[in-house]
Structures are given as structure tokens and as C-alpha cells.
């Protein structure tokens, strides 16, 4: 509280402390020096994390790696796609996603995304013929229509990888996001629900894909024997695949494991916070939070909303400044310089494709962090600041 009784703009940038339980385990690892996942004969922290994560998600196999980008890359390699294979990705995602596709010697094909941040199914259906794989990025945890995507992809015999980097805790009907496609990939980078600084994990029910990904992640010689349940598959692949060495180390697993039991509570709080602020923004005629799809239960740690009505670019920029003056940082994806989520900035792909729908969305879609720890007065502070900033900007 400020001296005059007003709530100060909340700090939405600091991370949550890592649970105390991590300390004893980190101390133990530092004392023994046992940081490499394959040194211990069994029960290394990384191996335990894989079992716990697979159980949490309801998947048969999990492989912990150095980042979600590494998991996405290994997923494509595990599918054994031909060089230059076409991989459909949403045009609204983080630059790491097309980068993983390029890294795997494949060619990304960008699919239009609607005003609701989800894959445009008409464009998806039009671009699917000729595609070798689909990588669905649930950007900021917004889930595309997985029933429609799986029906079309299955009918076409095209494998689906889910980029669930930011979707831990999101459900689709009775399923966990990340378990619907052939492989699901998650991130433990600091801006995600579970924070290890860096890290990633992939889940699959397919023993062949798991075995191939495990070997390529760097399970050299007989180290694959430390991954349970896959012995037949491994025997076939040993020494036939390159080793990319994208392993996770034990310290990361020690930071992640005590956070897994907190996921459900973080999801519940994050969703309640999000829906409260969404309700307030949706009471205006200038700001709009698109609803989740009916099958989707979200796990948000930020809020995205559109500037609706006749906003000019200057008014949208003015909105960012007016919010900033009130202590609330808003990013309009398409208006912040060099934004890594705006497809026209992915210059490593060559000339940007013509994607008018996604471009229009990005020019008016806003992003505000909303961590689960915020209190109701802090949420009201943020909502008030955004609503007042919109009023100011529209009167310009
Ligand atoms: C964070 C993120 C990634 C990249 O994850 P890293 O672990 O940093 O490689 C990929 N896709 C989406 C949607 C993300 O949010």
C-alpha cells in the first residue's frame, strides 16, 4: 500500500520462490557432485522427474531435456521426417517454434490464426494436404480446436506434435493438453508455470518415438537402459541415430520436482485471477478477452485481450503508454519493435508470407502478465489501469 492508502502497481515480473524442499536435494547433489543424469545406477533426480511427470500427465513415457525447443526439435527428429518435410505451425507462436523446425531440416508452413489466438481451421484444412507433420503451438496456453485438428490430421495420416510449452495444467475435455498428439512438449523456462530457469520435457505413449528421442537426446552406449519399459525398441536403434546431447542435468530436476505438486493450485489461482480480470475488461466496449473453447479449461499466468472497435495504430501505442504511466506494462504483439511472436520478424525464414488475418490480430492483441500470487485489490488495480488507459487512448 502507498502512504495515501492506494494500492501500488503490483510487481508482476518477479518469479515465485522455489519450494524449500529443493534446498536439501540441491545440497545433497552439491556434496556428492552427482550432477549428470546417467551417473547413478538408478533413481537419479532426472529419472524420478520423468516418472512423476509422466504420471501427472497420464502419459506412458517422458524424456526430460534442456529446453522445450530441444523437445520440439527431438520430436521432429524422432518422427524421422525427410529433409525439407513440410511442418504446419500456427503463425502466432514464439520464434523458437519455427526455429526448431528449421533446426530439424524441415520447412515450416505458417497457418492463419484467428482473433481468438487459435488456429484458423479453414486455413489449416487448406494447407494440410502435402504436409508431413503438424506442430500445434498452444500459444500463451490458448488451445486450438484439438478435436478438429486430430480428426483432419488422422484422416490424412499426418502426425501431430503439441507445443504445450505454456500449457501445463490445461485440459481439453477429459485429456491433458500435451497428451492428445503423438508427442507433447513442455517448458520449464522461468516464464512458465514450473520454473527451473531453463528446461523442457516431452511425453508420448509411443515406445518407438520415445526410444528414438531418448537416444538422440544423448543416451549414448548403454545409458538407455536407465529408461524403463523400452528395452526392445532401444536395442534396435542403438548407434543408428546421432546424439545431439540435449539432456537435463540433476540440479534442474531438483528444482522442478517439488513444484509439480503445486501445479494444481497454481492453475486454479491463475484461472480465477484471469477470469476475474477478463470479466472486468469484457464489461467495456473497447477491450475484449476471447472466451476459451467449450472443451478447454485454461491454466493462464497472463492475460491476452484485443482492442476492439476502430483503433488506429497511434491509439494502440497511446494505450500502451497510458497503461505504462499507471505502472502496468502492456505488450501489443505486433506493435512492439522486433517482437519474437510476430511472424514478420522471423527473417531467418526469408520473406514473410501473406497472412492478413494473423497480422490484423497481432496489431491489436495485447499481453499482460498476471501471476497466480496477485490479490483481488492488485487485480483491480491492473483492470482499472487498463480500462482507464483505454478511455484515455480512445479520446486522443
Ligand atoms: C516458452 C515457449 C517455447 C520455448 O520454450 P523453451 O523452453 O524456452 O525452449 C516454445 N513455445 C511456446 C508456446 C512457448 O511459450
Give the pLDDT confidence of 183-205 residue by residue, as tens digits.
999 999 999 999 999 999 999 99
Strand-pair partners of 200 = 65, 187
Q: Ligand 1: does its nearest atom lie under 6 Å from the Cβ of 153?
A: no
User: Per-residue pLDDT tens for 262-314?
Assistant: 999 999 999 999 999 999 999 999 999 999 999 999 999 999 999 999 999 99
Task: Give the pTM.
Answer: 0.96
Pocket probe mutation, ligand 1, options 87, 163, 339, max atoms within 8 Å of Cβ: 163
Q: Indicate the helix (H) or strand (E) that contains 133.
A: strand 133-137
Asked if residue 5 has pLDDT above 80, the reply is no
Q: Ligand 1: does its nearest atom lie under 6 Å from the Cβ of 141?
A: no
| Cβ neighbours around 230 below 10 Å, total | 19
For ligand 1, the distance from its centroid to the CA atom of residue 383, given in whole angstroms, is 27
For ligand 1, the distance from its centroid to the CA atom of residue 266, given in whole angstroms, is 19
User: Per-residue pLDDT tens for 122-173?
Assistant: 999 999 999 999 999 999 999 999 999 999 999 999 999 999 999 999 999 9
- The average confidence (pLDDT) of the chain is 95
For ligand 1, the distance from its centroid to the CA atom of residue 3, given in whole angstroms, is 40
For residue 110, what are the contacts with CB-CB under 8 A and spacing of at least 6?
Answer: 89, 90, 91, 98, 343, 353, 355, 358
Q: Please tell me whether residue 296 adopts helix, strand or coil conformation.
A: strand
Which domains are delineated in the chain? 21-261 (3.40.640.10), 262-394 (3.90.1150.10)
Q: Whose CA is nearest to atom 14 of ligand 1?
A: 165
pLDDT for the residue numbered 1 = 46
Q: Whose CA is nearest to atom 12 of ligand 1?
A: 165
Q: Whose CA is nearest to atom 5 of ligand 1?
A: 68
- State the closest ligand 1 atom to the C-alpha of 198, by its place in the atom list counted from 1: 7
pLDDT for the residue numbered 301 = 95
Whether the Cβ atoms of residue 197 and residue 17 lie closer than 8 Å to each other: no
Cell 519450494, residue located: 19
Cell 494444481, residue located: 264
For ligand 1, the distance from its centroid to the CA atom of residue 135, given in whole angstroms, is 13
pLDDT for the residue numbered 227 = 93
Torsion-angle region of 231 (φ positive above 0: left; ψ -120 to 50: alpha; else: beta)? alpha
Pocket probe mutation, ligand 1, options 187, 190, 193, max atoms within 8 Å of Cβ: 187
For ligand 1, the distance from its centroid to the CA atom of residue 187, given in whole angstroms, is 6
Long-range contacts for 114-119 (Cβ within 8 Å, ≥24 apart)? 114/357, 114/361, 115/290, 115/306, 115/361, 116/142, 116/290, 116/291, 117/92, 117/142, 117/290, 117/304, 117/361, 117/365, 118/90, 118/142, 118/143, 118/144, 118/145, 118/293, 119/90, 119/144, 119/145, 119/149
Asked if residue 229 has pLDDT above 90, the reply is no
Q: Ligand 1: does its nearest atom lie under 6 Å from the Cβ of 374?
A: no
Amino acid at each position: 500500500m502507498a502512504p495515501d492508502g492506494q494500492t501500488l502497481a503490483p510487481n508482476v515480473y518477479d518469479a515465485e520462490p522455489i519450494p524449500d524442499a529443493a534446498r536439501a536435494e540441491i545440497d545433497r547433489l552439491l556434496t556428492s557432485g552427482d550432477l549428470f543424469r546417467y551417473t547413478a545406477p538408478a533413481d537419479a533426480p532426472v529419472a524420478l522427474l520423468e516418472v512423476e511427470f509422466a504420471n501427472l500427465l497420464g502419459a506412458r513415457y517422458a524424456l526430460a531435456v534442456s529446453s522445450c525447443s530441444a523437445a520440439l526439435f527431438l520430436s521432429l527428429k524422432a518422427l524421422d521426417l525427410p529433409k525439407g518435410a513440410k511442418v504446419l505451425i500456427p503463425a502466432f507462436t514464439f520464434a523458437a517454434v519455427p526455429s526448431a523446425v528449421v533446426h530439424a531440416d524441415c520447412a515450416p508452413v505458417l497457418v492463419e490464426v484467428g482473433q481468438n489466438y487459435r488456429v484458423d481451421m479453414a486455413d489449416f484444412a487448406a494447407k494440410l494436404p502435402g504436409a508431413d507433420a503438424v506442430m500445434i503451438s498452444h500459444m500463451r496456453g490458448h488451445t486450438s480446436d484439438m478435436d478438429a485438428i486430430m480428426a483432419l490430421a488422422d484422416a490424412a495420416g499426418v502426425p501431430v506434435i503439441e507445443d504445450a510449452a505454456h500449457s501445463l495444467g490445461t485440459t481439453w475435455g477429459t485429456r491433458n493438453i500435451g497428451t492428445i498428439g503423438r508427442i507433447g512438449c513442455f517448458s520449464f523456462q522461468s516464464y512458465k508455470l514450473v520454473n527451473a530457469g531453463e528446461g523442457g520435457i516431452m511425453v508420448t505413449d509411443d515406445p518407438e518415438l520415445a526410444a528414438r528421442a531418448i537416444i538422440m537426446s544423448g543416451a549414448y552406449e548403454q545409458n538407455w537402459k536407465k529408461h524403463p519399459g523400452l528395452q526392445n525398441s532401444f536395442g534396435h536403434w542403438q548407434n543408428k541415430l546421432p546424439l545431439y546431447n540435449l539432456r537435463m542435468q540433476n540440479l534442474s530436476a531438483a528444482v522442478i520436482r517439488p513444484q509439480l505438486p503445486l501445479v494444481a493450485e497454481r492453475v486454479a489461482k491463475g484461472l480465477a485471477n484471469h477470469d476475474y480480470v477478463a470479466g472486468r475488461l469484457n464489461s467495456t466496449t473497447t477491450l475484449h478477452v476471447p472466451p476459451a473453447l467449450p472443451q478447454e479449461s485454461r491454466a493462464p499466468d497472463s492475460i491476452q485481450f484485443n482492442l476492439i472497435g476502430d483503433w488506429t495504430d497511434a491509439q494502440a501505442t497511446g494505450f500502451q503508454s497510458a497503461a505504462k504511466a499507471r505502472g502496468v506494462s502492456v505488450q501489443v504483439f505486433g506493435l512492439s519493435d522486433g517482437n519474437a511472436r510476430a511472424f514478420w520478424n522471423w527473417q531467418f525464414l526469408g520473406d514473410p508470407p501473406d497472412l492478413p488475418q494473423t497480422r490484423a490480430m497481432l496489431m491489436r492483441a495485447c499481453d499482460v502478465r498476471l501471476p497466480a500470487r496477485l490479490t483481488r485489490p492488485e487485480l483491480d488495480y491492473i483492470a482499472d489501469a487498463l480500462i482507464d488507459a483505454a478511455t484515455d487512448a480512445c479520446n486522443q
